[in-house]
Amino acid sequence: MSQSRHEERQQRLKEQVDARIELAQIERGVLLVFTGNGKGKTTAAFGTVCRAIGHGLKSAVIQFIKGSWDNGERQLLEPLGVPFYVMSTGFTWETQDKEADTLACLDTWQHACKLLSDPTIDLVVLDEITYMISFHYLPLEEVINALTHRPENQSVIITGRGCHRDLLNLADTVTEMRPIKHAFDAGIKAQKGIDW
């Protein structure tokens, strides 16, 4: 392609992008969902937390499935003033006690509700909350209600596989992580700094 053709095309593209930027005028908090079976949902959420606190905004994290105690993002962010609430019973995939898990989930949800009604928190992460809904530990309507009535400028990130359709509908931005391949399937162990 000749240089002038290229310039012409880039100029047209720039005009289209500028016009779309001009059209986006609404300012409010957004609901983001990172779902799908591929790796990157929780790390994308924490990337966004870093972005927010880098601008001096306030963020808080609720984790509905207990990760490793040696959780890299928590070790970095908590000392920087990002509170973490991690579901206390040590809920894991191996759990057998539905009643105890439901109680732990509802207790953690109470913390989430406080954050979702606090206008001083700019960004709330509800990590792995999708499972609480699919396991029926947490009523979907309650989650939708809290999200709908949150402060106008507050943004929320939901992560987890199999996100309920109603939450996808409510969300402003939805990204599906699609696994193309994963090291684990080739027998490579999960590792510090990459997987937790």
- CB 151 to ligand ATP: min, Å: 26
Which residue, 13 or 183, has its beta carbon nearer to ligand ATP?
183
Please indicate whether residue 35 is annotated as part of the active site: no
Please indicate whether residue 39 is annotated as part of the active site: yes
- According to the 3-state scheme, what is the secondary structure of the chain? CCHHHHHHHHHHHHHHHHHHHHHCCCCCCCEEEEECCCCCHHHHHHHHHHHHHHCCCCEEEEECCCCCCCCHHHHHHHHHCCCEEECCCCCCCCCCCHHHHHHHHHHHHHHHHHHCCCCCCCEEEEECHHHHHHCCCCCHHHHHHHHHCCCCCCEEEEECCCCCHHHHHHCCEEEECCCCCCHHHHCCCCCCCCCC
Q: Which residue is nearest to Mg ion (CB)?
A: 42
Which residue, 118 or 195, has its beta carbon nearer to ligand ATP?
195
Q: Considering the candidates 34, 35, 42, 71, report the single residue annotated as catalytic.
A: 42
Please indicate whether residue 130 is annotated as part of the active site: no
Which residues would be at the binding site for ligand ATP (CB under 6 A)?
37-43, 159, 161, 177, 179, 182, 184, 190, 195-196
Please indicate whether residue 41 is annotated as part of the active site: yes
- CB 26 to ligand ATP: min, Å: 29
Which residue, 6 or 182, has its beta carbon nearer to ligand ATP?
182
Please indicate whether residue 12 is annotated as part of the active site: no
